[in-house]
Amino acid sequence: MSIDTNRLNISTSLLKSTNIDSACPPEEVFACNQRNKFFETLISSLPGIFYLIDDTRKVLRWSNNTQGVMGISEKEISEIDLFDLIIEEDRETLKAVIDRGFVTGETAAEIRVVGKGGSHTPYFFTGVITNIGERRYLLGIGLDISKFKEAESSLQESVMLYTLFAENMPEGVVLLRNYQSIFANHVFISILGYKNFDQLRTVKLTDVVAEIDLADFMELYASLEKGLCEKRDFHIRALTKNGDVIWVSGRGTVVQWQGERTVFLMVRDITEAKLRILAVEEEAERLRRENISLRSSINERYRFGEIIGKSALMQAVYESILNAARVSASVIVTGESGTGKELVASAIHQNSDRNDKNFVTVNCAAIPENLLESEFFGHKKGAFTGATSDRLGYLKQADGGTLFLDEVAELNLNLQAKLLRALDGGGFIPVGGNLQVNSDFRIVAATNRDLEECLRKGMIRQDFYYRIHIIPISLPPLRTHREDIPLLVEHFLSLYKSGDEVPTISGVMMESLVDYPWKGNVRELRNTIQRYIAEKNLDFILLGHNQASVESGEAPVVRRDQSLREQVHHLEKAIIKDSLSSHKGNRSKTATALGITRKTLFRKMISHGL
């Protein structure tokens, strides 16, 4: 099929179609001719390949640009078949496209044209059917899409390269939009236990994150998607397709994909390593607890840290300390002044998993009212007169550790409310600041007051009371466990000795120390021993051994009819008899209390007929 050299005269056809003939006035004919010339110029100047084909597939008209594209002259056109201008593989496609166009009224196809020097150039042809006179023609244009094809090829190569790279990475990678996967490599798919991407495509990532870590992961994802940060590391538990819990870690970043912000995650399965770490930590914790228990066994335990005592009451206190140290709940330590509440709080901290962080002690009764918030929450430079620099408050100093609130009942209600908010994870704002600060701290509080009475009087908020009153530990007064006094005395003598020699206390003095009521408890006993070391006397002891006479101020009875030896003999007998009675006949305890050996005690008992 060759191109018709008697090309269709568009102007003539248009004239006929508008019924313009020789009978028309000359000015109308002139105007019509001018329009025809305009259309001729327009068609000849069109870019790409403009064409007009009749229903026999004859090309009736080309644009001038066609000749330049194909490298042929106007004279050669008559000698060239239309399909010679198309590569052989596309000729059948072209025939089908033309035929379909005459049936459907329009057509479009990608056809490769033979250009200069035999080159192949892809063109995208579109056409519509038009009626001129009584005949139908296919009118259209073809545009060079070689640059688009090159870009498409380059893009496909890039996609193939990145896909190849992603598929051969040891880590799992996934592209997410609205928590939905739009791409994932086989490593990521297999980590979650799926067979292929089609299975994963329908699953939202929020459904595979364990509930315990979901809130943290959603916060991370939102910060990436909204542009609050460009990258974030994560360490979470995930659920596989079968419901198994696995540990994964990785990094999330933001990339542009198809013109939109897209979250890109790189993930590693660290389950085996994490389980090994957890096993080691669990074993270390077990050994630590076992070590504490062994060192503090009921039968042999006479001290716990800086706390001294082996009585049943103190053993119960030690057990309470161990139980409190195993958890992170708030503790309230109650007891009379001088019973050692701060030592208990310190022991709880040292035996807890917070022992590598700060133990911050606060005497709530010693802080002026106008400085409470600054001391607890810190302040910013310039917040008030004298604030010459930023200062961390007690709450931030105790971050990760323990905050010991001594005399907690002295806090005002307003500060109690703010502390309660910080305790419940609401954070706090330093004085003069505008940004919320968070701190992970544990409270151990202490008081010598009756908290329930304070609650009834409205001195303590009910919610604050229940927040700090989770684990109560009550310290007994010293007078209720007098059997611990000799241990305490020995401890203080050794602690406050001057030089290498440890001072001693006679049996009579020891009995007096045991019998004394100790209203100031362990603190009073400590101070008494310090004075004894310095002054070599116990300032509360009179010559008599009977405590009643000591408290009443009565002088000991002096027998003028007896010699010194006889009076000493009678006094020694009375002392031994009284000590045996107070220790219920236990000779070992009596000997210890009197500061003599058991053998010496037995000999003296025989001597005195006891």
Q: In this predicted model, what pLDDT tens digit does every residue of 262-277 receive, in sequence order?
A: 888 888 898 988 888 8
Q: Whole-number mean pLDDT of the chain? A: 80
Q: Residue range 167-171: average pLDDT?
A: 67
Angle CA 143–146–150, to nearest 5? 150
Q: What pLDDT, on a 0 to 100 scale, did the predictor assign at position 13?
A: 42
- pLDDT at residue 1 in the model: 39
What CA–CA distance (Å, rounded) separates 486 from 591?
Answer: 12
For residue 456, what pLDDT band results from cuts at 50, 70 and 90? very high
| Residue ranges of domains in the chain | 10-144, 153-269, 304-476, 497-607
DSSP three-state, residue 407? coil
Lowest-confidence range among 153-162, 177-186, 391-400? 153-162
Q: Give CA 83 to chain center in angstroms.
A: 70
Residue linked to tokens 């000849």: 44
Using pLDDT thresholds of 50, 70 and 90, give the confidence band for residue 164: low
The per-residue pLDDT for range 358-387, each reduced to its tens digit, is 999 999 988 888 888 889 999 888 888 877
- What is the rounded average pLDDT of the residues 65-92? 71
Distance between CA 394 and CA 437 in Å, rounded? 12
Q: What is the pLDDT of residues 283-317, one digit of tens each?
A: 887 877 776 666 555 445 688 888 999 898 998 99
Q: What is the pLDDT of residues 215-247, one digit of tens each?
A: 888 988 888 888 888 888 998 999 998 889 999
The helix (H) or strand (E) run that includes residue 110 is: strand 106-114
Q: What is the pLDDT of residue 501?
A: 80
Highest mean pLDDT: which range of 133-137, 164-168, 257-261, 354-358: 354-358
CA-based angle 38:39:43, to the nearest 5?
120
pLDDT tens for each residue of 509-536: 888 888 888 989 999 999 989 888 887 7
Domain 10-144 of CATH type 3.60.21.10 = no
Q: What local confidence, expressed as pLDDT, does residue 9 receive?
A: 41
Lowest mean pLDDT among 92-96, 291-295, 435-439: 291-295
pLDDT band at 11 (very low <50, low <70, confident <90, very high): very low
Statement: residue 601 has pLDDT above 90: no
Domain spanning 153-269: which CATH class is it, in words? Answer: alpha beta
Q: Which uninterrupted H or E stretch holds 349?
A: helix 341-350
Q: Pairing between strand 402-406 and 442-447?
A: parallel
Per CATH, 10-144 and 153-269 having the same topology is answered yes
CA distance 86 to 311: 108
Q: Hey, what CATH topology would domain 304-476 get? A: Rossmann fold (3.40.50)
Residue 149 has pLDDT above 80, yes or no: no
